[in-house]
Structure 1
Amino acid sequence: MQDSIGIPACFSSLDKGNDDHVLGAVTRSGQSVYMSVYRTKIADHCRLITITWCKNLLLHGLSISVEGPEGETQYSCKIELKPWYFWRKQGSKRFIVDGKYVDVFWDLKAAKFNGEIEPTSEYYVAVVCDQEIVLLLGDLRKEAHKRTGCKKSLIDPILVSRKEHIFGKRKFSTKAKFHEKGRFHEISIECKNKSSGDLSSVTEIQPELEIRFDGHLVIHVKHLQWKFRGNESVHLNKMRVEVFWDVHDWLFSPGLKHALFILKPILPSSSTSSLSSLLSSSSSLLSRSSSSTPLSSQTESSGSVEGLSTISGSSSSSEFSLFLYAWKIE
């Protein structure tokens, strides 16, 4: 059942018990990190399971962690995908959650990454508990069911949040979809320096923020030094997306720092009160970013369902939130 799996360099320090410090070290070294958080039923309880893909110059790393009884990350397994260890691109690993076996099966032999950190096709990653597949990623679903010999769980997993760490000098781009049946949208974030004044006066540099969806300018923030935190609503097809930004560290902190962008879809059925709750909770989160606590630690402060529900608002709102950590390289 079990394979002997080495621990990739980008995840080796996780055993020390502080994911936030490890994540900070990973991003500061220029490694890309994508994290997807799902809510599903494991060992008779509703829990959060985090899928983390990490990439550096030598390997791809995949980490799967399940929250413990108090919401902390207690159970995890790690997989390294070195190009010269082909047999490690397919395998399984087992760990125990509250006395029950949880098995992770994967097949990444023919996985196509297309330049991305996580694969786009020709793969599967399956998490099994109580003879049910509680989480299945990838397009090789028939192969996953045949390999595990298990049926699909009656409870579908819910994608609660996605966290991406992206790097750039002025422009940052990613792709995201805001509901399961929707299409992917191109998201572009750019920080520009505009000159003010005329030839007869002293020219002043004014930073500005531009956010585009599918090439269309949807948010333009002038005088960014005064408006380094804020939020605006963006209409995308029949859905409204609330966009929050905090670029304080870009402007006022030396060295390699990141800005935080939160994109939260608001469904048409969402009430005004749920939107007000979302604005209040997210604005509170952003306002704390000027403290010495890293932004990544603040958004990861609670792995519990309740902690993530604070960002998601009420049940009438979409479950999903996208967190973008934009690391500015000078």
Structure 2
Amino acid sequence: MVASSPFPSCFGEYAMQVAEMSSGNRTTHNLIACIYCTKLCSCYHVITISWCKNQTGQGFSVAVDNPSAAASPSLPKVGLKPWVSWKKQGKKAMEVDGKRVQIFWDMTAAKYSSGGPEPQESFYLAIVFHGQILMLLGDKKKEAYDATQAKPLLKEPILLSRREHIFGKKYYNTKAQFCESGRSHDIVIECHSGGAREPRLCVRVDRRIVVHVKRLMWKFRGNQTILVDGLEVELFWDVHNWLFNPDLGNAVFMFQTYFPSSHLKSCNYGEQESFPVQVFKGRDFEKLSGFSLLLHAWRIE
């Protein structure tokens, strides 16, 4: 991420505590990290699932944190090396607040889209605590219950944030679901920064232009409010590296969705209780809960 980026912290310090998978070699940057909130050990915890892919293989890691704790302890992380070293199906145990948590997975038949690191179908990843499934990803749910012998999921975890690396020359594509009850949207980022034409930036959601920035040499950082599914989404961009340091780094985009309390029920967020929410000063309401999509856009020459 660009060091000088003006983007606000999405969900506190614990939100981006994901092991940095990148280095100077851009081929190692294929990483997707999803941050969820769920109930664990009688309190709310943040679970980070990171999917990665590099030249030697692909794998994932699981990290659990307790943002409500007075002193945030260093909790263990389940990290899997590339598939050449690990089985595509297995289980692993970890200790959280002195309690045993088990993680089960089956990626033997997993299918991926466009060579990305995150499986799309024919897989499962389950987190079990005290005989109860806390999180279940994937479409092989029956196989997951057979393997874990655990009680069904009581409440779906809340997806707080998604961090993704995308690649392209002029067009950068991804998908995002901004509300639990909403549909998945196609996002296309288009940037013209070379040739005789004046640099400009265009962002589309489902082919509809939501942001069009001209005079990009002067407006390489900024933000704008857009509407998706009837909800306000704040879009931040930082394309400084694309314009002035093309060989050094990537551009950064963040879509931050704000959910006032009146929207929480319609989005299936359930009771607010003690879910970690970010307080944004200067707005009409004090506490907002929402979803954040953070994109690292890398230019392929």
TM-score scaled to structure 1, two decimals? 0.72
- The answer to whether structure 1 residue 226 and structure 2 residue 209 are counterparts is no
Q: Which amino acid aligns with 2:223?
A: N
- 1:320 paired residue number: 291
Cα 1:108–1:254, aligned 2, differ >3 Å: closer, same or farther? closer
- 1:105 paired residue number: 104
On the 8 A contact 2:89/2:108 being kept in 1, the answer is yes
- 2:51 paired residue number: 53
Partners of 1:32 and 1:210 lie apart in 2 by 24
- Aligned ranges for residues 74-223 of structure 1 at < 5 Å? 74-82=75-83, 88-115=87-114, 116-193=116-193, 206-223=198-215
On the 8 A contact 1:65/1:73 being kept in 2, the answer is no
Structure having the higher helix fraction is 1
- The answer to whether structure 1 residue 42 and structure 2 residue 15 are counterparts is no
- 2:249 paired residue number: 257
On the 8 A contact 1:165/1:324 being kept in 2, the answer is yes
Q: Secondary structure at the match of 1:88?
A: coil
Q: Which amino acid aligns with 1:127?
A: I
On the 8 A contact 1:67/1:75 being kept in 2, the answer is no
Q: Secondary structure at the match of 1:144?
A: helix
Q: Secondary structure at the match of 1:106?
A: strand
Q: Which amino acid aligns with 1:121?
A: E
Q: Deviations over 1:70-115 (max 9, x none)?
A: 4476321122452x67x81111001111211110001111212133
User: Per-residue deviation at 1:261?
Assistant: 1.0
On the 8 A contact 2:259/2:290 being kept in 1, the answer is no
Q: Secondary structure at the match of 1:319?
A: strand
On the 8 A contact 1:259/1:325 being kept in 2, the answer is yes
Q: Which amino acid aligns with 1:52?
A: S
- 1:309 paired residue number: 278
On the 8 A contact 2:45/2:65 being kept in 1, the answer is yes
Aligned residues between the structures: 269
Q: Secondary structure at the match of 1:146?
A: helix
- 1:66 paired residue number: 64
Cα 1:20–1:254, aligned 2, differ >3 Å: closer, same or farther? farther
Cα 1:315–1:219, aligned 2, differ >3 Å: closer, same or farther? same
Q: Secondary structure at the match of 1:126?
A: strand
On the 8 A contact 1:28/1:256 being kept in 2, the answer is no
Q: Which amino acid aligns with 1:161?
A: S
- 1:278 paired residue number: none
Partners of 1:191 and 1:72 lie apart in 2 by 42
Q: Secondary structure at the match of 1:142?
A: helix
Cα 1:120–1:88, aligned 2, differ >3 Å: closer, same or farther? same
> Once superposed, what is the RMSD of the aligned Cα atoms?
3.0
User: Per-residue deviation at 1:123?
Assistant: 1.1
Runs (5+) with no aligned partner, structure 2: 1-15, 264-274
Q: Secondary structure at the match of 2:121?
A: coil
How many percent identity over aligned positions?
A: 41
Q: Which amino acid aligns with 2:164?
A: E
User: Per-residue deviation at 1:64?
Assistant: 0.7
- 1:294 paired residue number: none
- 2:8 paired residue number: none
Instruction: Report which stretch shifted further, 177-186 or 237-246.
Output: 237-246
